[in-house]
Amino acid sequence: MKKRLISHIHQRLAELFTRFGIEDYSFIDVQVPPDKANGDFSLNAALKLAKAAKCAPQKLAAEIVALLETEKDWFSRVEVAGPGFINLYLANHVIENSFNELAEQTVIIDQVPSGGEKTVVDYSSVNIAKQMHVGHLRSTVIGDVLARSIEALGHPVVRQNHLGDWGLPMAMVIWKAEPEIAAIEERGGDLTAELTLPRLEELYKSVSAECKENPASAAVCHDYLVRLQQGDQAMLDLWHKITRISMAEVYRIYRLLDVKLAEENECGESFYRDMLADTVAEINKSGKLVESQGAQCVFLDEFKGKDGSPLPVIVQKSDGGFNYGTFDLAALRYRTATLGGQRIIYVTDARQALHFKQIFAVARATGILASPEVKLEHVPFGSILGEDNKPLKTRSGENVKLADLLSEAVERAYQVVNEKNPGLSEEQKRQVAQTVGIGAVKYADLSQNRNNDYVFSFDRMLALNGNTAPYLQYAHARICSIFRRAGLNIEEFKAVAVISQDEERDLMIRLMEFSPSVAAVANELRPHILCNYLYELAASFSAFYDKCPMLSCEDEKIKASRLMISSFTRRTLAKGLELLGISAPREM
């Protein structure tokens, strides 16, 4: 509706703008004013164009209003407000028609034209032989929502799990895991069951401490690393086994979180191992490769140390080894040239901001991208804090394991469900607790402006009131229960929506804002926009539900209309929650 409204306004005002000598007005847009007393939409064209038109904003606004006022097909009222805003009040039939049209559609999200933009989303990107901790939660859930939202708009999306699966830490684990793997295999035991990820992590920690103390151990690890890098088959076999053990646990968590990452998305550092030398050679061709203290570096004007001295981006270390950044540069070549990525998105915590700034700048300056048009975007996020406002830790000061956190959330959700709806069967309670607990953790994260740190609180995230997953899930279940009580099939219910009350009108307008809010998530790469939208939608539904009797309504036409608006609200809530990777139970 908004799109059509804007294009109508553009058309209607073309002549006026030309008369004022304005050539470009393609950017003028309508906004939903925070206070609906200021209209359904407000137009700031007069303020934006006043300068170009050489006309006072209020005078220009008055001219615009005079023209739009005559558009009885569209507006019930048009008026100038404040310094030159124009408030637009839509005619009810415009809202009804647009809404009914939308509700007829099978896909309720507007698709981008011409197949969209090939988008690579690098997220989760866990490290092998380390358990996922709360820090990985954010990359995993934020990245997943971005991928789903961009995809929902019709862009082809390639998900990439850039595993930390190559290099010295891997060599260290291989060294210590080797005898354990051999013993289990000799016994004919089950490797993944017996050599767990926590055990691998323990091994890694002990070797890493040992290497610091003992140069001989460090030398052994180095030897393992060289053999691994040279492609020694025995090393590669062990490396493969360790990766699979590690990823088995990661997939268990992905499934719990309902995150769409599978083995086909794994494209870790190891994948690029044979492309590194080539990447450095390619950079060299640009003439920007400089040797500095034995290392191969790129110096760019924009990166200077505190004293103003140039800061190198090292692409090959003095011992010939490659670093984290080289893998990313190789990955950029692959992602643009082979995968055909036109937009590449990286979801990691804010501490990696400088790293990505440098990688993007080096990639552009040395021409290793398949096309200069490729968009490169780092999506940083803040930390999860404990109630003490310090990064979340266990009592003993360790990183909180994601697996533990999720089981606690499910347990606590069980208490909430049990209190709220003791009549459910035990199995249903368990199922709802699972959905609510996991949903609550994800939503608490997603609903924050990602740049901020946030304080983790089970009580707050599991509350049935406020901007929480359970609140939205409950709104969804409540609509389902209305239809159940009436013996109606909510999926198949069809009727024509009409406006008889303000609350119906508000809810219909709100429902039409769903697709633009998904588009905003994809553009700005901020999942909280969708969370806020869904929260406001649920609030609009609540107001509608309080004010507009449904099953007891005597006018059949209005009753059917209200049921239809409710069923479409359910559909929109479910779709929105699906984009957030949160399930919407029909009963809670």
Question: Which residues form the interface with ligand ARG (CB under 6 A)?
Answer: 122, 125, 127, 162, 164, 328, 331, 346, 348
Least distance CB 398 / ligand ARG (angstroms): 17
Q: d(Cα 29, Cα 18) in Å, to the nearest integer?
A: 18
Nearer to ligand ARG, 346 or 535 (CB): 346
Least distance CB 341 / ligand ARG (angstroms): 13
Tell me how many helices (H) and strands (E) the chain has. 21, 13
Least distance CB 265 / ligand ARG (angstroms): 13
Least distance CB 383 / ligand ARG (angstroms): 14
Q: Which two tokens stand for residue 512?
A: 């039409």
Nearer to ligand ARG, 85 or 334 (CB): 334
Put the strands of the sheet holding 85-90 in their side by side order: 30-31, 41-43, 85-90, 75-81
Nearer to ligand ARG, 271 or 471 (CB): 271
Nearer to ligand ARG, 13 or 331 (CB): 331
The candidate with the shortest Cα–Cα distance to 547, out of 502, 515, 485, 491, is 502
Q: d(Cα 137, Cα 403) in Å, to the nearest integer?
A: 10
Cβ atoms of 137 and 384 within 8 Å: the answer is yes
Q: Which two tokens stand for residue 244?
A: 């699979």
Strands 384-385 and 85-90: unpaired
Q: Which two tokens stand for residue 489?
A: 């099939």
Least distance CB 312 / ligand ARG (angstroms): 19
Put the strands of the sheet holding 157-160 in their side by side order: 157-160, 119-122, 343-349, 375-381
Least distance CB 143 / ligand ARG (angstroms): 10
Nearer to ligand ARG, 123 or 535 (CB): 123
Nearer to ligand ARG, 303 or 474 (CB): 303
The candidate with the shortest Cα–Cα distance to 529, out of 459, 460, 467, 582, is 467
Least distance CB 463 / ligand ARG (angstroms): 32
Nearer to ligand ARG, 125 or 265 (CB): 125
State which amino acid sits at residue 531. C
Q: d(Cα 368, Cα 333) in Å, to the nearest integer?
A: 6
Token pair 């990505």 in the structure block, residue? 356
Q: Which two tokens stand for residue 523?
A: 């553009």
Query: Which residue is nearest to ligand ARG, using beta carbons?
Result: 125
Q: d(Cα 391, Cα 383) in Å, to the nearest integer?
A: 7
Eight-state DSSP code of residue 398: P
Q: Which two tokens stand for residue 511?
A: 């429902």
Nearer to ligand ARG, 162 or 571 (CB): 162
Nearer to ligand ARG, 48 or 335 (CB): 335
Length of the chain measured in residues: 588
Least distance CB 485 / ligand ARG (angstroms): 49
The candidate with the shortest Cα–Cα distance to 331, out of 168, 171, 164, 170, is 164
Nearer to ligand ARG, 36 or 244 (CB): 244
Strands 289-292 and 454-455: unpaired
Least distance CB 133 / ligand ARG (angstroms): 10
Determine the Cα angle at 249 with ends 528 and 387, to 5°.
45
How many C-alpha atoms does 146 have within 13 Å on its Cβ side?
30
Least distance CB 107 / ligand ARG (angstroms): 32
How many C-alpha atoms does 539 have within 13 Å on its Cβ side?
10
CB atoms within 10 A of CB 481: 14
- 330 CB-near residues (< 8 Å, 6+ apart): 272, 275, 276, 278, 279
The candidate with the shortest Cα–Cα distance to 331, out of 314, 316, 318, 345, is 345
Least distance CB 361 / ligand ARG (angstroms): 15
Nearer to ligand ARG, 122 or 144 (CB): 122
Nearer to ligand ARG, 125 or 358 (CB): 125
The candidate with the shortest Cα–Cα distance to 240, out of 216, 268, 280, 260, is 268
Nearer to ligand ARG, 125 or 572 (CB): 125
Least distance CB 345 / ligand ARG (angstroms): 10
Least distance CB 28 / ligand ARG (angstroms): 39
